[in-house]
Amino acid sequence: MQKTLKQLHEELKNGTITVESLVIECKKTIAEKDGDIHALLGLYSDSLISSQIVVAEKMFKDGKANTLTGIPIVIKDNILVKGELATGGSKILEKYHATYDATVIKKLKEAGAILIARANMDEFAMGGSTENSAFGVTKNPHDITRVAGGSSGGSAAVVAYGGVPVSLGSDTGGSIRQPASLCGVVGLKTTYGDVSRYGVMAMGSSLDQIGPFGNSVEDVEEVYKIISGYDELDSTSLSNESRKPKVENLKKIIGIPMSFVNREGIDKEVLDNFNISIDMMKNFGYIIKDINIEYLEKALSVYYILMPAEVSSNLARYDGIRFGLSHPGETSIQSYFESRTAGFGPEVRRRILLGTYVLSSGYHDAYYNKANLVREMLRKEFEKVFQEVDVIATPTSPVPAFKIGEKSQDPLAMYLADIFTVPVNIVGVPAISIPSGKTSSGLPLGMQFVASHMSEGTLFTIGKEFELAIIK
Ligand code: GLN
């Protein structure tokens, strides 16, 4: 499924293909390839898929179709689709059926998209390799001995192997961009508050955002246009006032925090590819400027304090009583213990422990409050830098796809893989990962561009030029 959304739209419109034939084709590719890759946790019910096909075909007949009408799309399994399973990659929700549609799902349904399957993910989006899924690892379509990245590994892999043209993931510290980079597709993390989080399982509520995967910047932009927008059901949703389109006057300057990028632990091929690819942007008249972002080195530490704090509080709702796995004990406390022990995997437990620790009295000031202060300082630094540059560029990941099992016993090594993506969530700005070539052994690499608040448009403009620069 390497055709662009616009090409597919043309074919659907002029009748070369039908919505139904497109869905059948996607299901066929999935049936052929997903056995090896395990990007998906399951297809949505036949009744949902067929009713959506009817809606989409009617929209074409009535002349009301848009670029997403009739397009099969895969959804990360932490986004609720009414009546369908939504596990969050966790045993605790293995049999949970969503009782309502997330706002993004409502928007996709209204646009006539065909929700086709649920994507595998690290349990509750905690991880960078999809090895923390309770339902088995997702393998990288470019080399099945390697990880697809995470936590949205399934959403990235299914687009990479051609099962669907686009998918949705969520990004709390890099979970869209990193798997996009490792699988060789485009992934967009939107501005915090841009896309509604209503109906998305919360991980770190001050960091989480939903965003699309696709084969090109243009395809990702098409999905973005449908899913973004104010939502009164999400109290952090940006108001229409603050969304007024900015006049985009590009300065034609790309900033690179070179001392941060050229660091210990970065793979040599990643660094070489980064330098070569960014140099190509000079052909489009860009000036490349070395910049210094103070406190950038602190972002990962800030993240691993704030995120677990929010995780520990958000995951309190899985108590074995209201919904999900239930192991009744003699007392309520025993029921909580037994249900949560049976339902949560080791990484989720580790983060709940870390989170309760940093929030506990006596440590709250030393860790949580301090991390919030540094967060504020970092935000100001980014604002300052964006006075001078259009975008900041870094590699998306310091390493290409690693071997399955290579980092799973070493959480710190896994956390370090987020070094370039995490700062973006800390400050709440948008960023995109775009394929930038391959290693000598054929593993995909990705370039990350970061723009200022609500400047997704800048990412699309520069991203499309970057794609052209890389093809040349
Ligand atoms: N890999 C990061 C983590 O484990 C990011 C996860 C995410 O963005 N959901 O926290």
CB < 8 Å & 24+ apart, contacts of 469-472: 469/277, 469/280, 469/281, 469/283, 469/284, 470/277, 470/280, 470/434, 470/435, 470/436, 470/437, 472/280, 472/283
Q: How far is CA 92 from CA 78, 80, 326, 345, 355, in A?
A: 13, 15, 8, 9, 19
From the CB of 77, is ligand 1 less than 6 Å away? no
For ligand 1, the distance from its centroid to the CA atom of residue 174, given in whole angstroms, is 6
Confidence of residue 412 (pLDDT cuts 50, 70, 90): confident
Catalytic residue (choose from 175, 228, 312, 397): 175
Task: Confirm whether 380 is a catalytic residue.
Answer: no
Q: Which atom of ligand 1 is nearest to the CA of 304?
A: 10
CA distances from 333 to 96, 322, 326, 423 (A): 22, 14, 13, 38
Parallel, antiparallel, or unpaired for β 143-147 and 139-140? antiparallel
Average pLDDT in the 165-194 region?
98
Tell me, yes or no, if the pTM score tops 0.85. yes
**Superfamily name and number for 1-472:** Amidase signature (AS) domain (3.90.1300.10)
74's tokens: 């895969």
- Please say if 76 is a catalytic residue: yes
DSSP string across 341-362: HHH--HHHHHHHHHHHHHHSTT
pLDDT surpasses 80 at 34: yes
pLDDT, tens digit (0-9, with 9 covering 90-100), for 137-164: 999 999 999 999 999 999 999 999 999 9
| Model confidence at 246: pLDDT above 70 | no
Asked whether 180 and 398 are in contact (CB, 8 A), the reply is no
In whole angstroms, give the CA distance from residue 410 to residue 347: 11
- In the chain, where the domains are located: 1-472
Residue nearest to atom 4 of ligand 1 (CA): 127
Per the rule left: phi > 0, alpha: psi between -120 and 50, beta: everything else, 454 is left
- pLDDT at 472 exceeding the cut of 80: no
Residue with the two structure tokens 């210094």? 292
Tell me the CA–centroid distance for residue 376 and ligand 1, in Å: 21
User: How sure is the predictor about 244, in pLDDT bands with cuts at 50, 70 and 90?
Assistant: confident
Q: How far apart are CA 366 and CA 18, in angstroms?
A: 60
Q: DSSP readout, 90-132?
A: -GGGTT-B-SS--HHHHHHHHHT-EEEEEEP-SGGG--SSSTT
Q: What is the pLDDT of residues 361-405, one digit of tens each?
A: 888 889 999 999 999 999 999 999 999 999 999 999 999 999 999
Number of other residues whose CB lies within 10 A of the CB of residue 320: 22
Helix (H, G, I), strand (E, B) or coil at 310: helix
Q: Nearest to residue 187, comparing CAs of 223, 134, 237, 143? A: 223
pLDDT the model gives residue 247: 64
Q: Is 128 in the pocket of ligand 1 (CB under 6 A)?
A: yes
pLDDT digit string (tens) for 369-379?
A: 999 999 999 99
Q: What is the pLDDT of residue 322?
A: 87
- Angstrom distance (rounded) from CA 306 to CA 192: 15
